[in-house]
Amino acid sequence: MMKALTIRNVDPRLARALEREQSRRKTSLNQLVLELLRQALGVDAQARRSNGLVKLAGSWTAKELAEFDRNTEIFGRIDPEEWK
């Protein structure tokens, strides 16, 4: 038997944060709260915390990754003049 809960005294900042997250995830408020509770309490292994990038993970081709590596290689260089 499923349990129904009522949450009282939700402050405006929390309510706005929930609404923003609900909009971002495109889900119902009820589903969002259930997911957040599962994550926080470690009840469901499937309910992992997400940084929102999971839909992009593994979506680059080898060519796109090589291009990204080429374009960001400069950020790994150390300029000796800057370290004097």
What pLDDT does residue 13 have?
A: 97
Distance from C-alpha of 11 to C-alpha of 5, rounded to nearest angstrom: 17
Number of structural domains in the chain = 1
Q: Cα separation of 44 and 33, whole Å?
A: 13
Mean of the pLDDT values across residues 2-24? 94
State the average pLDDT over residues 17-36: 94
The residue range of the domain holding 19 is 12-79
Query: Furthest-apart CA pair in the chain: how many Å?
Result: 69
pLDDT in tens, 50-79: 666 766 777 788 899 999 999 999 998 888
Would you say residue 1 lies in a domain? no
Q: Is 5 exposed, middle or buried (0-12, 13-18, 19+ CB in 10 A)?
A: exposed
Q: Is residue 34 part of a domain?
A: yes
In the predicted structure, residue 47 carries a pLDDT above the cut 60: no
Question: Which pTM value belongs to this model?
Answer: 0.51
Please state, rounded to an integer, the average pLDDT across all residues of the chain: 86
CA-only gyration radius of the chain, Å: 21
